[in-house]
Amino acid sequence: MTRTYVVTGSASGIGATTAALLRDRGERVVGIDLRGAEVEADLSTPDGRRDAAVRATELAGGTIDAVIACAGISAPIPATISVNFFGVTELLDHLRPALVGSPAPRVAVVSSMASLQPHSGEMVEAALRGDETEALRIAEELTAQGPEVGYLVYPSSKRALARWVRRQSITPEWAGAGIPLNAVAPGTVLTPMTAGLLETPEGRAMVDAAVPMPLNGHQPPESIANLLIWLTGVENTHMAGQVIYDDGGADVSLRGDDIWSWND
Ligand code: NAD
């Protein structure tokens, strides 16, 4: 049976590839993006998120089978926390009632291996409290110190999102409603987001030092899209709150083999 997917960031990169693969399989896709999508909306603002959810639900006919949240930015600007964290979590809060009507509702979001990088703990806590004003205040303080410190907003947004997924996945609203909620954490994906950085040997060396990818190097968007599609398919019945590092081995290179002894 055809399923209806809402895909954010559907106009470019991972989101566009995911939407295209789903359409090739005969699924229905309602894309959300700033431009070039069924629903053109700005996920950096509360009004944009509400408007996007209302219009996507309408276009879907009231019931949504899956949401795949790819929209994101990596710039060292305050809006990065708004789009990458609140543009996912608040949008999902608005879309959840339409998911509950599906016989097999699923959600997958895109975090990043950057969730493992240095970040602002204060900003992560503010985001997890749902305090966008405070998260933006901290982001403004960081970005005012230049792009190097300002970059901290991106890993903070992705760590907060990964933690939100783990926290929410087992609650009555998600697990209790039969909705698997999971995240994918990519390494360096070849999309417009990274094209500029990877253009020069210096840029490539900087990226590769921060994101070691011993398995097959930089990855095509299909490597993430196919996993997002599995996570939101009917076959995924029991995966809850996982942050899957699909990253050419970056997570293992950085964290090593022992992620268990925290409980010894
Ligand atoms: P991309 O720039 O190709 O696509 C991102 C899309 O999000 C664009 O179409 C853009 O218009 C949309 N978007 C941005 N701000 C928006 C807003 N305010 N409202 C609505 N839509 C908005 O980038 P991509 O590489 O495909 O990234 C997709 C996701 O993957 C992002 O969340 C990104 O952080 C994450 N990610 C990417 C990489 C990588 O190496 N490319 C690595 C890890 C994680």
pLDDT at 42 over 90: yes
Q: Say if residues 52 and 91 touch (Cβ distance below 8 Å).
A: yes
pLDDT per residue over 110-143, tens digit each? 999 999 999 999 999 999 999 999 999 999 999 9
Q: Which residue ranges have their beta carbon within 6 Å of ligand 1? A: 9, 11-15, 33-34, 42-44, 70-74, 83-84, 110, 112, 186, 188-189, 191-194
pLDDT at 218 over 90: yes
Task: Give the distance (Å) from ligand 1 centre to CA of residue 258.
Answer: 31
pLDDT at 209 over 90: yes
pLDDT per residue over 74-116, tens digit each? 999 999 999 999 999 999 999 999 999 999 999 999 999 999 9
* Protein residue whose Cα sits closest to atom 2 of ligand 1: 193
For residues 196-210, average pLDDT: 96
What pLDDT score was predicted for residue 3? 98
Catalytic sites, residue numbers: 154
What pLDDT score was predicted for residue 210? 96
pLDDT at 262 over 90: no
CA–CA separation, 66 vs 7, rounded Å?
Answer: 8
Q: Which atom of ligand 1 is nearest to the CA of 71?
A: 7
Residues of the chain with pLDDT > 90: what percent? 99
Closest CA to 252 of 208, 223, 212: 212
Q: Which of 6, 10, 12 to mutate to test the pocket of ligand 1 (most atoms within 8 A of CB)?
A: 12
Average pLDDT, the chain: 98
